[in-house]
Every structure is written in C-alpha cells, then in structure tokens.
Amino acid sequence: MKILVVANDELTAKSLDRILSSQNYTVETVNDGQTAWELVEVFPYDLLVLDATLPRLDGISLCRQIRTGGKTLPILMLARADNSQNGVAGLDAGADDYLLKPIDSQELLARVRALLRRGSGIALPILKWGDLSLDPSTYEVTYGERSLSLTPKEYAILELFLRNPRRVFSCGAILDRLWEFEKIPGENAVRTHVKELRYKLKATGAPGDLIETVYGIGYRLKELETIPSFQITEDAGEIIQQQTLAAVTEIWKRFQSRINEQIEVLEQATQALLQEFPDRQLREKAEQEAHTLAGALGTFGLTKGSQLARKIEQLLQADRFWEDKKVIQLEKLVRALRDEIARASETTVSQTTMVQDERSFC
C-alpha cells in the first residue's frame, strides 16, 4: 500500500514516514501542496495524509482540487488542535477524515487502516487466497501450515495481488504502486521479485503458477474455485503497538540532536529578552521552532512537552511590550521543556530495552 505524506516540516514528515513504514506501507514525503498535486496527478496512491497548512498550495485547496479532478483516493487531513476548524474545512473540501495535532501514533494508524479498508472494500485484516494467508498487522505470510520469509518488496507485491485478487498488474503498474517515484528501477526488477516470490511459494507447497503470467499484459493470482476469506487475529493490536514504539524510538534517536538545537534557539531568544536586547528575527525563528516542536513532540506521545511548546509559541507570537513577568514565565517554560526532553530521552531508552527484552522471549 502506497501512502503520500505532505507535511510542512521535516521532523513531522520523518516521524510520520517512520511510523507508517514500520507497518510495511510504502511512504513518500513532500513538503508543499503543489508538488503533492503533481505527484497525485501521475502516480496511484492508496492514501494521502496532508497538513492543512502547506506552502505553495494549502492542504484544503489541494483537497478540493483533487476532488474536483474526480480522484477518489482516501484523504486524511492533519490540523492543529488549536485550529480544528481547518479539519472541518478539510472535510467540507472532500477529505475523508481529519486528525488533530499533536498526533497520537496509535490513533493515526487506526485511522489509516480504516481509510485503507474503506478504499479497498476489505472489512477485515487477514487476506486469504486458497491456502495462502497474509496478515497485514503482523506481516506473517503462510501457505497451509508453513511460513514464508519474504523481503519487504516481495511482501508488498504479494499483498497487492491479494488485495486485488482478480486484477492483472503490468510491471509498470507494480512499479508505480510500490516504489517511491525517485527510486523507481526498471521493469526487470519486478520480474526478479516475482520470480523469487514464486520460488518461495513453491518451496512451501504452493503451485508454481500461483502467481500466473498473463502474456503481454502482466501478473495476477491464479483463479481459484473458492472465494477468499478474511478473519481477525487476536494479538494484532499488541504487535502493532510494539512495532510502532520501535519505529518512534528510532526516529526520536535520529532527530534528538535537531530537537536539542531547537531548544537552544528558544533559550537564546529567552536570554535576549532577559537582557533587554530583543532580536525580532531571533524571536520569530524561536516562534517557528516552538510551533514545530509542539507538533513533533505530540507525534512522539510527549503530551506535556507538546503543551509546553505550544505555550511558548503563544508567548512569542504577539507583538507585545515584554513585561518582566512575561519573560520570567517564558524562561520557566523553556527550562521545563528542556527537562521534559531529557526525561523523555531516558524513558525512551528504557522502553526500547523492554521491547527488546520482550522480543528475546518470543
């Protein structure tokens, strides 16, 4: 399943990318609405996740433009908690759902799954075709009682066939659906993956032509007499939560130095105000960093940190005469945010250790 994420800051985009990629989705990220529109015009996406506020073409206008053009791909709009009317406006413009920032990763994944099920017409998670079974929540693929070990691209190709069991896909169509547009290889790459996938299926007892070639057109699943059935796994929620935690932890480690740089900007702006040498450019930069932190920290589940960043942003926003008590309040908020980031870093390390310990017993 291929998802296009449109977010106006790198940290949010990378966080969403990591969370969604951890669930085996193919994810592309861009940071402006016009580029997103150009991609949607050319490539078939299964879902669009976009910020309401974007440069060049805002999210609401992009949503309206997509619907006016007759495209029906599911759209999830992201809006700030203090500006929920953007989410409502997104629904009026044609979005299927909206989510308030700061984003809770589990809620994000639940809404993504719901929109993808709605778009594909499949109500339940496990995909079956005869004795072949694929569970998108655990990435487990079996034929009969035997498990298959697949690469991410082999898995994605098989999932594509199982979600569209009677449809023929050309090599070009598979490339468009499962590869990022900047990394699309030649059609031989698809043929190689299909060949290896057939080999692995045959090794578990599946027919060698379970994925059959429609000559001159492409590939599809071989027709069966029985209709595919679907069922739910009991442990899916716990597994998804562990996978998401691991993904969020990884992106947190990657961007921790960037977050520390953002905190330093807030501290510099605060010191300038304390010394009564206000720098308008520095204050505006600090306001933008606080805004970015408020959204990004919420994505990591750091509600308190997100709230502190939001309060800092609000203090920095107005062109007000800076009273001593306001500057002191700002200093306390920035110090509290620094402490919260340090506490979160320690907690993240301990949570990662717990997840690794749990996996070692599996």
Q: Count of CB atoms within 10 A of residue 69's CB?
A: 10
* 232 — pLDDT class (breaks 50, 70, 90): very low
What 8-state DSSP symbol labels residue 169?
Answer: B
User: What is the pLDDT at residue 58?
Assistant: 92
Report the half-sphere exposure of 190 (CA within 13 A, side-chain side). Answer: 23
* 117 — pLDDT class (breaks 50, 70, 90): confident
pTM of the predicted model as reported, rounded to 2 decimal places: 0.56
Q: Is the pLDDT of residue 102 over 90?
A: no
Task: Give Cβ neighbours of residue 126 (< 8 Å, ≥ 6 apart).
Answer: 133, 134, 135, 136, 230, 231, 232, 233
User: What is the pLDDT at residue 245?
Assistant: 60
Q: Look at strands 47-51 and 26-30 and give their pairing.
A: unpaired
The alpha carbon of residue 278 and the mean position of all alpha carbons in its chain are separated, in whole angstroms, by 39
Residue 212: its H or E element: strand 211-214
How is the chain split among helix, strand and coil, in percent rounded to 5?
60, 15, 30
Task: Return d(Cα 304, Cα 293) in angstroms, integer.
Answer: 12
Give strand pairing partners of 220. Answer: 212
Task: Return d(Cα 284, Cα 174) in angstroms, integer.
Answer: 45
Q: What is the pLDDT of residues 273-326, one digit of tens each?
A: 888 776 788 888 888 888 888 777 766 667 788 888 888 888 887 655 566 778
DSSP sequence for 100-127:
EESPPHHHHHHHHHHHHHHHHT--SS-E
Burial of 131 (0-12, 13-18, 19+ CB in 10 A): middle
Q: Is the pLDDT of residue 354 over 70?
A: no
DSSP sequence for 249-285:
HHHHHHHHHHHHHHHHHHHHHHHHHHTT---HHHHHH
User: What is the pLDDT at residue 241?
Assistant: 59
Q: What is the pLDDT of residues 158-216, one digit of tens each?
A: 999 998 888 888 888 888 888 877 677 888 899 999 999 999 999 999 988 899 998 87
- Please indicate whether residue 86 or residue 50 has the higher confidence score (pLDDT): 50
Q: What are the chain's domains?
A: 2-120 (3.40.50.2300), 127-221 (1.10.10.10), 236-360 (1.20.120)
Phi, psi of 113 (to 5 degrees): -60, -40
User: What is the pLDDT at residue 145?
Assistant: 87
* Residue 61 in tokens: 């206008």
Mean pLDDT score across all residues of the chain: 81
Mean pLDDT of all residues in 8-35: 87
Mean pLDDT of all residues in 330-343: 88
User: What is the pLDDT at residue 250?
Assistant: 66
Q: Which of 86-90, 169-173, 247-251 has the lowest mean pLDDT?
A: 247-251
For the chain, give the percent of residues with pLDDT over 90: 23
Instruction: Name the residue type at position 253.
Output: K
User: What is the pLDDT at residue 246?
Assistant: 64
User: What is the pLDDT at residue 319?
Assistant: 57
Burial of 337 (0-12, 13-18, 19+ CB in 10 A): buried
* 132 — pLDDT class (breaks 50, 70, 90): very high
Residues 187 and 175: beta-carbon distance below 8 Å: yes
Q: Count of CB atoms within 10 A of residue 14's CB?
A: 19
User: What is the pLDDT at residue 236?
Assistant: 52
